[in-house]
Amino acid sequence: MVLQRLLYLIYGYVLVFLTGGTLVFTLFVTPVLFRSLGKDQAGHVVGVLFPPYFHLLFVFTLVSLLLQGSRVVLKPSNGKKSLYFLGILTAMTGYLALSLGPRAMSSRAAWYARPDDSSLKAAFDSLHQQSVLLNGFILAGYLALTLFLLTEPPSIPAGKIRDR
């Protein structure tokens, strides 16, 4: 019982951290950088910030998946739906961090090396658009999981169920 509550608390904190961090980074930090620094300079800064950001999303989503999986193993009636949803988010963040993000960064470097090549720019723009879209879906997933967490009923001690 204590272990299950501890797992619930840690899972909740990690999920809120992911949701808040993704909201702040996506909706505030990035737009402010582009407004303040201009497109070229902000592109360089974001190019430095996003790969570690994508990796943090992946690692912490994986941690959330493991925490929620442990909760489900301890009490199978708790959180199976969110466990499946976390599995999907883990796959999405893993794809973003380990495949799409690196491809976008190398595409960006190739385009910057030959800025007059419109095909390189088009390739980067496509990968960039995919990563922005995927990041948006991930953010929506974190928001949905956080709302689901807020609506999850508190655990009732086993002895109290018989009294009802």
Name the more confident of 78 and 128: 128
Confidence category of residue 163, pLDDT binned at 50, 70, 90: very low
Total-model pTM? 0.85
Pick from 102, 86, 18: nearest CA to 56: 18
Residue 162 CA to residue 147 CA, distance in Å, equals 30
pLDDT value at residue 161: 45
pLDDT, position 162:
46
Are 139 and 145 spatial neighbours (Cβ–Cβ below 8 Å)?
no
24 has a pLDDT exceeding 50? yes
Measured between its terminal Cα atoms, the distance across the chain in Å is 19
Closest to 43 (Cα-Cα) out of 115, 94, 134, 116: 115
pLDDT single digits (tens) 79-111: 788 889 999 999 999 999 999 999 999 999 999
Write out pLDDT tens, residues 113-130.
999 999 999 999 999 999
